[in-house]
């Protein structure tokens, strides 16, 4: 019997470019990370860092003028075997079955993810019948069960409602139910709590965590909210300007960040700055991908940057500083006062 791989998804040196009037824009530039089976991995960074492009690449949803230029995205299903998603043809049946079946996605905005002219039941049942051997009656039963599982009351009657008849939190639960209806091995959640008020955010966070625990689904969580990350994920990858700058166990990274960008993100959290008069912030903003700075991409905003070192050459590569802990910084030892392990 073939051994099942430890990682359900392995992304290696992924490169995605968009071709615009300004030339080639490298939205994802050599990203590598893995999702261990049964765990939640958080992909974190400010808007414009390439998080969503990375997640869309997993399902091959990059459209022109975008193009996956290189690297591999290897899916290792529970039943054994392995498939490189980047090598599949767009018309390949294997890719068709992966999307929404083995790998599913919670899109960022539930109102645009759901069709306004079809009932909630029709949309969930359609997804089920595309990927599961079920007749319409059985598909409706599964849909009602999933709505009940995500905490929607009177689930059976809700199947006949349209998305506009529901609140934002309820629509988000419908999107989660649809994503999990076919029992995917990998769930990609792209900013699942965006545009929701804080009480509904907390409910959605608890829901995703409980469903992940009960169903054993491996999850990639895309977010810029470190508060969500602290509550949900097992491993974290911090992304800046199309590159991973730090990754490791979430508790280790949150407690002892090593890259200046990760340090800045954590220092800007309100909960860590209650004794200060003014909330800390990272100076400047994420530069345009078309105007990528030389050297370390973070150096124009970094308080520890050294001229002649950080602003020259190629971006620094990730190097290991501990067990399953990696950081991409040229001045790591200088910042932390000695060898870093």
- b (16+ CB within 10 A) / e for 184-205: bbbbbbbbbbeebeeebbebbb
Domain-by-domain residue ranges, the chain?
Answer: 1-102+187-298, 110-183
pTM: 0.90
* Predicted local confidence at residue 238, as pLDDT: 96
* Predicted local confidence at residue 275, as pLDDT: 60
Helix/strand/coil for 52: helix
Tokens at 317, concatenated? 């590569």
Fold of 1-102+187-298: Rossmann fold (3.40.50)
Measured CA to CA, the distance from residue 115 to residue 123 in angstroms comes to 8
Burial grade of 46 (CB within 10 A; 0-12, 13-18, 19 or more): middle
Tens of pLDDT, residue by residue over 164-188, are 999 888 888 899 889 888 889 999 9
- b (16+ CB within 10 A) / e for 74-98: bbbbeeeeebebbebeeeeeeeeeb
* Predicted local confidence at residue 274, as pLDDT: 54
Q: What percent of the chain has pLDDT over 70?
A: 94
């Amino acid at each position: 019997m073939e051994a099942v791989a430890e990682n359900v998804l392995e992304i290696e040196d992924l490169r995605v470019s968009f071709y615009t009037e300004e030339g080639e824009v490298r939205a994802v530039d050599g990203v590598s990370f893995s999702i261990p089976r049964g765990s939640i991995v958080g992909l974190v960074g400010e808007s414009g860092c390439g998080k969503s492009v990375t997640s869309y690449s997993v399902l091959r949803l990059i459209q022109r003028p975008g193009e996956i230029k290189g690297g591999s995205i290897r899916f290792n299903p529970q039943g054994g075997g392995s498939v490189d998603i980047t090598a599949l043809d767009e018309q390949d049946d294997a890719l068709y079955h992966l999307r929404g079946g083995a790998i599913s996605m919670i899109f960022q905005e539930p109102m645009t993810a759901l069709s306004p002219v079809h009932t909630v039941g029709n949309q969930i049942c359609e997804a089920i019948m595309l990927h599961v051997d079920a007749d319409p009656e059985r598909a409706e039963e599964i849909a009602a069960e999933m709505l009940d599982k995500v905490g929607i009351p009177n689930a059976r009657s809700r199947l006949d409602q349209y998305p506009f008849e529901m609140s934002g939190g309820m629509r988000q639960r419908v999107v989660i139910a649809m994503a999990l209806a076919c029992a995917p091995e990998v769930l990609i959640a792209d900013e699942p709590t965006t545009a929701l008020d804080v009480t509904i955010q907390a409910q959605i966070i608890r829901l995703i965590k409980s469903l992940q625990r009960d169903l054993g689904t491996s999850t990639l969580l895309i977010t810029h909210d470190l508060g969500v990350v602290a509550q949900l994920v097992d491993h974290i990858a911090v992304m800046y300007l199309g590159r991973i700058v730090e990754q490791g166990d979430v508790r280790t990274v949150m407690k002892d960040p090593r890259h200046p960008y990760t340090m800045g993100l954590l220092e800007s959290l309100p909960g860590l700055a209650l004794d200060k008069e003014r909330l800390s912030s990272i100076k400047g903003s994420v530069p345009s991908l078309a105007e990528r700075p030389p050297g370390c991409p973070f150096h124009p905003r970094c308080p520890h940057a050294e001229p002649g070192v950080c602003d020259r050459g190629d971006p620094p590569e990730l190097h290991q500083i501990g067990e399953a802990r990696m950081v991409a910084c040229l001045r790591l030892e200088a910042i932390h006062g000695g060898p870093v392990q």
